[in-house]
Structure 1
Amino acid sequence: MNVAAAVAELGGIAPRKQLLRAVTRGELERAVASGEVTRASRGRYALPTDDRTRRLAHELTGTAVLISAASHWGWARMWEPRRPQICVPRGRNISRDDRAQVDLRWRTLAPGDIVDSWVTSRERTLLDCAALLPFAEALAITDSALRDRSVHPSQLSNRLTDVPRLHRSRTRRVFAQASPLAANPFESALRAVALGVPGLDVRCQVRIDDDRGWVGRVDLADESLRIALEADSMEYHGERDAMDRDVARYTRLTCAGWLVLRFTWSQVMTRPAWVAEMLAKAVAQRAHLRSTA
């Protein structure tokens, strides 16, 4: 896996420690030198999308919105937009050539919702994402913002009235389900699928013990049904000791009565319907076991 692909899988921005599980130090250094990725801050690396978005926003006298704005604020996301997402005031005439360069929206934003004359504020960005993006994508970005402590949940709740009534219920749902405990967009996306499965009630980063004590934390768990979900991340090199610990952990979970379901990034991101089907089967299995116990 090349460095840019690794950063993309981790949400477009990633800590060095996480990246080095998928690529070597030399590959990371070469990618930075070539401009394939950039150092967003100390120990954090990002895809180089911000400069182009800023340039196009200024050229069009517009404002970066949605995922493009989330990228600027350093929030992890499921996908990168194919083109920078820019909005301009209603009634603005934009040439066909300029339209081809961006994902253009027509909106009139309040001055207080625009920062540095080219990007929506943190709060406005999250309101827009929750209102307009698919649930999983909006959840991943909001999780990241809470994880970074960029905003406080009360700030978002206080601005729900700024969202059109048509989108208010979906916005409220995103904010109600968002959690700073999700490690990355992969886990957020898996949780989004799980939240849509009837009878499944999962929480993030659940501690599990057995008769010998602490086993570990699982990414998601329904403690009532004893179903654990794990988002299996990519690894560059596996160490024997780490593999032994991992296998022992899952063996202990199974012996303690847990049904452990593991999903890959590709399955969650590109086959969510299949993931939902597997989760529904797991719920039905546990319900059947309860009824026959």
Structure 2
Amino acid sequence: MNRRDLISEVAAQQDGIVTRRQALEAGFTRHEIDNFVMFGRWRRLARATYLVDPSLAAGAERLSRIRAAVLSCGPHAHAVLATAAELHGIGGLRRAEAIHVALPGRAARPTRVKDPAVVLHQFEHPDDALTWIGDIPTTTALRTVAALILRERRYPAISLLDSALNRQLVSEDELLSVPALLRGRRGAVAARGYLAEANGLAQSPLETRARLRCVDGKIPPDALQIEIRDDDGYLLGIGDLGWRAARVVAEADGRGPHATPQALFDDRRRQNRFVNAGWTVLRFTWSDTLRPDYIPAVVRGAIAARAVRRS
């Protein structure tokens, strides 16, 4: 196999990315690599890491940047914290440009990385704390959420836990081992409280935030993912949050899942079915969760109105 075929094979396994070391091992000289970069045939993504085939990275530019950052830090590097959560698909955190990479011991020297987006951490992880997403080494989902809930405030921390549970990346039994991982670390007391509030029925961070606003407002829902049925028992749909005695249901309308025209039509038809079955339907967006008093007040008002109509 000639060197061009060899480097193409390596790039095909890494979304079009190769390291300088891999190029040298394939038979390219340092002068050739520098020329490829200078004339735009290869694009430097991180220290000694290049995109040699953009077609392989199409639609996955962020993943390519993460892969390049990890590869550029050497064989012991792995993604951690928010970047690990991003790779696992765990929701709850704001999307950020920073790429969090860990190296053991003194290998994590700030001078190793010149990319300002790469945040290098000095973390020691045992082998059973690591896994692979594609071919990118990263902390396991359990270790990822355990590390993040020490650093995040209550709402994003519980959103992370809910997302990991809902996507079955961690189990409730596995969460029982988290307090031992947190013992003696700053933030451990608060993090143990977040574990107690986690609920894997929440299907989005917005649902988690809406639920927590109601809990904090002293009007918690008594059901999540509540089944709404007609008098004959026919399933009309699933509500996000429910107050069964008052027949009030709340929907968390996220920008992504509910923004398409078809989703809007489906939501309206479902809401009509709920209303015709005797339920009051409330709808909340992300901006509604930014006001501590708004969602509890609306829910409390809807429950009060239902009580007046029944009296």
Q: TM-score, normalised by structure 1?
A: 0.67
- Paired residues in the alignment total 245
Q: Deviations over 1:15-34 (max 9, x none)?
A: xxxxxxxxxxxxxxxxxx89
| Alignment match of 1:285 (pick from 290, 298, 301) | 301
Contact kept in structure 1, 2:78 and 2:137, CA below 8 Å = yes
Q: CA deviation at 1:35?
A: 5.3
- One-letter code of the match for 1:115? T
The aligned counterpart of 2:289 is: 272
Q: CA deviation at 1:69?
A: 0.7
The aligned counterpart of 2:191 is: 171
For 1:238, what is the secondary structure of its paired residue?
Answer: helix
Check if 1:217 corresponds to 2:238: yes
Aligned sequence identity (%) = 21
Contact kept in structure 2, 1:50 and 1:71, CA below 8 Å = no
- One-letter code of the match for 2:68? R
Contact kept in structure 2, 1:195 and 1:202, CA below 8 Å = no
The aligned counterpart of 1:53 is: 66
The CA RMSD measured in Å over matched residues stands at 3.6
Q: CA deviation at 1:291?
A: 9.1
Shift in CA distance, 211/129, structure 1 to aligned 2, threshold 3 Å: same
The aligned counterpart of 1:194 is: 214
Q: Deviations over 1:116-144 (max 9, x none)?
A: 58411222112112222233333333333
Contact kept in structure 2, 1:144 and 1:180, CA below 8 Å = yes
Greater RCO (CA < 8 Å, at least 6 residues apart)? 1
The aligned counterpart of 1:72 is: 87
Distance 2:282 2:82 in 1: 30
Q: Deviations over 1:60-85 (max 9, x none)?
A: 34331122112222334443222112
Shift in CA distance, 202/49, structure 1 to aligned 2, threshold 3 Å: farther
Larger radius of gyration: 2
For 2:281, what is the secondary structure of its paired residue?
Answer: strand
Distance 1:279 1:202 in 2: 15
Matches within 5 A, 1:16-35: none
Q: CA deviation at 1:163?
A: 0.6
Distance 2:220 2:211 in 1: 11
Distance 1:290 1:219 in 2: 19
After TM superposition, the structure 1 stretch with the greater mean CA deviation from structure 2, 155-164 or 183-192, is 183-192
Q: TM-score, normalised by structure 2?
A: 0.64
Q: Which runs of 5+ in 1 are unaligned?
A: 1-32, 39-47
